[in-house]
Amino acid sequence: MNAILFSSMVTKMLPDDYIGFTFFVGCMAMMAASAFFFLSLSQFDKKWRTSVLVSGLITFIAAVHYYYMRDYWGAFQESPTFFRYVDWVLTVPLMCLEFYLILKVAGAKTNLLWKMVFWSVVMLVTGYFGETVFSDQAARWGAISGAAYFVIVYEIWLGSAAKLAQAAGGDVLKTHKILCWFVLVGWAIYPLGYMLGTEGWYTSILGSGSVDVAYNIADAINKIGFGLVIYSLAVKSTGTANS
């Protein structure tokens, strides 16, 4: 791809380029969050280190993609949809892994992990089709993607993951609940952004807007916020090790 061509390019940022601004701030925030998670690792009990490490990997993978997306936007003033979805297809399964790692204490099996990963990939691949190759049928692909999203929401709120969290109780249950809210509310920003950026029945209601601003804000909330929730569970569960 042209990645090598534009990655070393310096482009002019116009003062009213608020989309470019959110790419820059997003990139920096993801880098800072990664440093924060990685450098905190040694303070935790072994069994929580993997969870915090995964939080750091999620923001680190995003930081690398934001670095490219920021350049791409600067060079072409166009949505970096390809990099966006490569980022998501790597980071969303890692967020599913976070659910699994937390619930392992209550006996979560790997089939829970694979079920969530499967539906998240269905959600993202169909979303990608709707935004790119089949954009004249964006509403239809978005609906399929939305259905897969609801399978995930169901699984964590009411399905087997919810039962495991209930069985674990305590801080694990509390953390699971907060992560459930991230998926229900924080992740819902993405379909909203999709509807702002594509044409469909919803366009007459919502109008159009910047899909990138919506996605950039959502990523900051969901990747950094989600990671911090895991981080605070690890802090609490490590007990007196910090004092």
Ligand X SMILES: *C/C=C(C)/C=C/C=C(C)/C=C/C1=C(C)CCCC1(C)C
Q: Least distance from C-beta 187 to ligand X, angstroms?
A: 4
Tell me which residues touch ligand X (CB under 6 A). Answer: 88, 91-92, 95, 123-124, 127, 142, 145-146, 149, 187, 190-191, 194, 219, 222-223
Select 56 or 191, whichever has its Cβ closest to ligand X.
191
For residues 26 and 127, which CB has a smaller minimum distance to ligand X in the complex? 127
Instruction: State which residue, 51 or 222, has the beta carbon closest to ligand X.
Output: 222
Two structure tokens written together for 184: 């229900």
Rounded least distance, CB 233 to ligand X, Å: 19
**In whole angstroms, what is the distance from residue 79 CA to residue 62 CA?**
16
SS3 107: coil
Kindly state the smallest distance separating residue 145's Cβ from ligand X, in Å.
Answer: 4
| Exposure class string for 168-182: b at 16+ Cβ within 10 A, else e | beeebbbbbeebbeb
Q: Closest-CB residue for ligand X?
A: 127
Min separation Cβ 87 and ligand X, Å: 7
Cβ distance to ligand X smaller for residue 19 or 125: 125
How many other CB atoms are there within 10 angstroms of residue 15's CB atom?
7
Amino acid letter at 196?
A: L
Residues 125 and 234: their CA atoms lie apart, in Å, by: 33
